[in-house]
Amino acid sequence: VETITIATVRGTSHIMVGERWQDLLRHIPARRPVVITDVNVDALYPLNVICEDVITIGSGERLQTLDTIRDVYQRLMALEVDRSCFLVGIGGGVVCDITGFVATTFLRGLRFGFIATTLLAQVDAAIGGKNGVNMDGFKNMIGTFNPPEFVICDTNLLQTLPVREVQNGFAEIIKHAAIADAALFAFLEQHHQSARALDDEVIAKLVVDSVRIKSSIVTADETENGLRRILNFGHTLGHALERTAGLAHGEAVSRGMAAAAALSVRRGMLADNERQRLQTLLEAFQLPVALETGDAEKICRALRQDKKREGRRIHFVWLEKIGKAVVKPIALRELEELIHDISRRASS
């Protein structure tokens, strides 16, 4: 088991990579555990061996709403949960976000931890203390910053994960390497086949390295005023595509990263051979990179509606080289022109 500790002003999280989910109780001594999970995880794993009280929600991001939160509050009340209880979210990013939000607000705050069961949750969603729900179709409009006491990343759980979900995790691992770790990027270039086959040693290294990268960024900027924004590499465009083109998160972020790299080249910030390396790696992981006809217009429309934009400018994440990203604001209009420009070049 490799433990990475993230200490911030809001609390300390221990991320345990390689710990078994069955050993959960070791980490919550003398507390009544209450588990929140989703229907798929509940059907696959006998969680009742570790906990009597299991609250199950449906699956999918569609459920990441205040209605689900209210439903969970009611079930906690029915179980007579008090402040001596310990909440454990066992699932992917949706379960972790909901558990973190509920634990922060129910009875003004309960202790909580996660068992992250998807690759995306292990390398990204469960790490960093952000939790939230969507509102009227807009992502993460409501939420808090509050880190879990621990995150168990049991890589054995990934064996039951559908391929599309595994791909979502790889997109975030490649993002971490691209923005902050050239050595990890080179490792991915060498080991993409064993990674895709979920080789245990390779996956454990990828999870540990990703957690380290994300945690060092989060430690430096917990509430996203500056550096943490580099984690949005590929996401400004990716979210727009996810919402409008109905793509999986990983596919959308992959296209978003390829496009953000192309924009960086157009602005003279990135050498074209570095962009090509990123594209080749994404393709090696069978992730899509091309913008399709109509994508540029969809992205621009979504950017204009982006609730998190600051006035007419957007904090955009640019790539300077493999392993280094920077955040620089750009006028929305200029960004739109660049997007149309790269999409015209790609299709000519």
Ligand X SMILES: NC(=O)c1ccc[n+]([C@@H]2O[C@H](COP(=O)([O-])OP(=O)(O)OC[C@H]3O[C@@H](n4cnc5c(N)ncnc54)[C@H](O)[C@@H]3O)[C@@H](O)[C@H]2O)c1
55 or 161, CB closer to ligand X? 161
Q: Which of 2, 23, 53, 61 binds ligand X (CB under 6 A)?
A: 61
CB of 254 to ligand X, least distance (A): 14
Q: Which residue has the tokens 């990203």?
A: 325
256 near ligand X, judged by CB under 6 A: no
State both tokens at 190. 């060498």
**Which parts of 298-337 interact with ligand X (CB under 6 A)?**
none
State how far the Cα of 105 lies from the Cα of 78, in Å rounded to an integer. Answer: 17
Count of alpha carbons within 13 Å of 184, Cβ hemisphere only? Answer: 25
What are 189's two structure tokens?
Answer: 């270039």
* Contact status: 226 vs ligand X (CB under 6 A): no
Positions in 24-43 near ligand X (CB under 6 A) = 38, 40-41
- The two tokens of residue 258 are 């390829």
Given 56, 59, 68, 264, the residue binding ligand X (CB under 6 A):
59
Interaction pattern, residues 63-102, with ligand X; x per rule: CB under 6 A: -x--------------------------xxxxx-x-----
- Encoded tokens for 249: 């998160």
Short-list 339, 344, 334, 347, CA closest to 298: 339
What's 118's DSSP letter?
S
Closest distance of CB 285 from ligand X, Å: 16
Contact 234, 254 (CB under 8 A): yes
Asked if 341 interacts with ligand X (CB under 6 A), we say no
Tell me how long the chain is.
348
Integer Rg of the chain from CA? 20
Q: In angstroms, what is the minimal distance from the CB of 348 to ligand X?
A: 35
Comparing every residue's Cβ against ligand X, the nearest one is 93
Query: Which stretch, 60-68, 177-185, 264-272, 277-285, contacts ligand X (CB under 6 A)?
Result: 60-68
Nearer to ligand X, 38 or 336 (CB): 38
Query: Which of 226, 248, 256 lies closest to 319, judged by CA?
Result: 256
What is the secondary structure of 280-339 as a DSSP string?
HHHHHTT---PPPTTHHHHHHHHHHH-TT-BTTEEEEEEEEETTEEEEEEEEHHHHHHHH
Burial class (CB in 10 A: 0-12, 13-18, 19+), 47: buried
Indicate whether 203 belongs to the interface with ligand X (CB under 6 A).
no
19 token code pair: 């710990």
Closest distance of CB 225 from ligand X, Å:
16
Tell me: does residue 232 bind ligand X (CB under 6 A): no
Answer for which of 17, 55, 72, 125 binds ligand X (CB under 6 A) is 125
Decide if residue 167 touches ligand X (CB under 6 A).
no
Comparison of 17 and 157: residue with beta carbon closer to ligand X: 157
Residue 234 in the binding site for ligand X (CB under 6 A)? no
In the chain, what is the greatest distance between 2 CA atoms, to the nearest angstrom?
65
Q: Closer to ligand X by CB, 148 or 277: give it.
A: 148
| Nearest-approach distance from CB 271 to ligand X, in angstroms | 29
Interface region with ligand X, contact rule CB under 6 A, candidates 114-122, 198-206, 305-313, 321-329? 114-122
Write the DSSP assignment of 238-292 as a string of letters: HHHHHHHH---HHHHHHHHHHHHHHHHHHTTSS-HHHHHHHHHHHHHTT---PPP
Residues that bind ligand X (CB under 6 A): 38, 40-41, 44, 59-61, 64, 91-95, 97, 117-118, 120-121, 124-125, 128, 130-131, 139, 157, 160-161, 165, 168
